[in-house]
A and B are shown apart, each in its own frame.
Chain A
């Protein structure tokens, strides 16, 4: 009691919301309801909310009791939460155009369902059915789920988050379940995999939030509070409610807050135990024995984050040669040179190094998550660069491997082919830059250099097969973007289906590798002779290679061939897109009195493909 009270009070000394969030997330302190209210008040007193999160909850069991925990999680993320609880039950009316849910205009719609909502037989023992009958039930349950999710998906209800409540009691066959051919557990695991596949392949902006994972984390006896379940149809104990709320709000944070893209790591006492400059390569803790094994596991965890699409960078106060030696020669080091998209190893202040990394990677500092074990470094970065999310690495090595698991912005709601090779793409870019510097030192001009890359651009038109990536580009691109309009997958799909819209994307390959899809244009053909450039954006990864102009003029040529005489565009300035301030005039757009831009395709025909150092191939979509 005493210990937890002191732990709780230490939380209230946090001086910024991000510090408070980092402490609450990493502490494992149990929080009572009145304490949750105190934390909410403290979070709000530190900084005002940066965004509103509108949450809709459709539920077949009591959901209101989640509210205090949802509020706590939202306050820690700096989100002002507006929650709508639909009337109890899975009524089809909630999925109609004027329902309470739809008029609430949710950013996130949480579906809290029970197994028996998917199939009435699931209210009774499943093991009384043989394998074939169980398969029929699974197929029917999946069909029912597709119907439910499909109805909601057809309305504007934001990101759908589907949950199915685990059973309050353990497996029907007890310890024998794992071995039985009628195993309830195996049946459920297989159905979950099919639900996941269905959502991934057929339903946009829909996520299965697996409550079994929360149950595993907190344990069944903590997950369920039978008193609340049987007396009020509210299943969750306080700890489970808090964890579920944290995950739901985390999804909201991923949607509403700036995207995290880079994990910047300190080295000493973060990637390994000890100080390389003092302890030497044989003295640092990293390997199969404690505490080196905890650092090893943390490095493995960082590789997991790389697979989620985050890029890794290094920022360490050390002699570069010492750190280099560990990356190259230490037998147990998992993170090698090629895993880091960029690094700063020197004696400069970390805040300057973080700014330099942001410039090198062409990414905003608000996409940075910085991890360091030192109180002092964390405080200094929080002070100088409040937009960077700072996570202090725990001082006990055993706490280190899991220390990023509660960081909401390190969750992903989808994964694209580009995400899986992101660091490799940045590493290609680093080699390209080095090659360019060499070419310039050799006296060659930049056109020769660009031609030497042998660039090939593939332009895809109205192609639904990359919806996730296209929507992701509108959401993630902040710098090279004319209008910064954000669209979800469903909206992009609507543009592709509409006959008066042209949705074009491109990828770029050269001798160093393939960029994946990095550029997108959304063009509204307002009249047969007039087109409007609704969105035009490109990942900064491919900047400086004339790809943006080659792409634009390819589209302008197609529009001109189709009879379009004039293209209208606009530049909407934001704090981040000053990079494209002059892009339109440079492409022969003329500024009009109302601030918009116009390009006459007849008087000034688009530039020919040969004008650019890039070969272009256009494939019309399906």
Chain B
């Protein structure tokens, strides 16, 4: 599974949207359930799925799929 596929599954489950609605370019404003609370849940999911420890400062930077992928690559994942 590519890192995007893993991410897509995790986002879809957390925000309760079909996986197809998430592309490599999706960002928060594209999905109604990716609101401020959905975002916090996503941050928790990201941590738990990829075994990371995010800082509060990272939360704001990770509001899109490309930003998440870049972050994960920076952490040596994928």
Contact = CB atoms under 8 A, between A and B. Distances in A.
Contacts of A231: 40, 56, 59
Contacts of B56: 227, 230-231
B40 A34 contact: no
A32 B52 CA distance: 13
Nearest to B16: A37
B55 A33 contact: no
A65 B55 contact: no
Interface string A479-502: 000000000000000000000000
B51 A37 contact: no
A65 B48 contact: no
A43 B62 CA distance: 32
Given A227-B55, A227-B56, A238 B48 contact: yes
A34 B49 contact: yes
A230 B40 CA distance: 12
A231 B36 CA distance: 11
B40 A228 contact: yes
B41 interface: yes
A37 B15 CA distance: 10
Interface in A215-242: 227-228, 230-232, 234, 238
A287 interface: no
B37 A65 contact: yes
Interface in A26-47: 32-34, 37-38
Contact of A32 (B37, B48, B54): B48
Given A38-B13, A230-B56, A32 B45 contact: yes
Contacts of B36: 232
B59 A33 contact: no
Nearest to A1: B51
Contacts of B69: none
A114 to B, nearest CB: 19
Interface in A1-58: 1, 32-34, 37-38
A81 to B, nearest CB: 14
B78 interface: no
Interface string A362-376: 000000000000000
Given A227-B55, A227-B56, A231-B56, A33 B40 contact: no
Contacts of B37: 62, 64-65, 232
B72 interface: no
A65 B40 contact: yes
Interface residues of B, number: 18
A231 B13 CA distance: 23
B9 interface: yes
A238 B44 CA distance: 8
B14 interface: yes
Contacts of B67: none
Nearest to B47: A32
Contacts of A38: 13
A150 interface: no
B41 A33 contact: yes
Contacts of A1: 51
Contact of B9 (A34, A62, A228, A230): A34
B10 to A, nearest CB: 5
B16 A65 contact: no
A34 B51 contact: no
Interface in B29-46: 36-37, 40-41, 44-45
B34 to A, nearest CB: 14
A598 to B, nearest CB: 55
Contacts of A227: 54-56, 59
A240 B10 CA distance: 21
Nearest to A231: B56
A230 B16 CA distance: 26
Contact of B13 (A33, A62, A65): A33
A68 B48 contact: no
A205 B51 CA distance: 43
A33 B48 contact: yes
28 contacts: A1-B51, A32-B44, A32-B45, A32-B48, A33-B14, A33-B45, A33-B48, A34-B10, A34-B14, A34-B48, A34-B49, A37-B13, A37-B14, A37-B16, A38-B13, A62-B37, A64-B37, A65-B37, A65-B40, A227-B56, A227-B59, A228-B40, A230-B56, A231-B40, A231-B56, A231-B59, A232-B37, A234-B40
Interface of A: 1, 32-34, 37-38, 62, 64-65, 68, 227-228, 230-232, 234, 238
Interface of B: 9-10, 13-14, 16, 36-37, 40-41, 44-45, 48-49, 51, 54-56, 59
Counting from the closest, the 6 A-B pairs by CB-CB distance are A32-B48, A34-B13, A37-B13, A33-B45, A227-B56, A231-B56
Given A65-B37, A227-B56, A231-B56, 10 more contacts: A32-B45, A32-B49, A33-B13, A33-B14, A33-B45, A37-B16, A227-B59, A231-B59, A232-B36, A232-B37
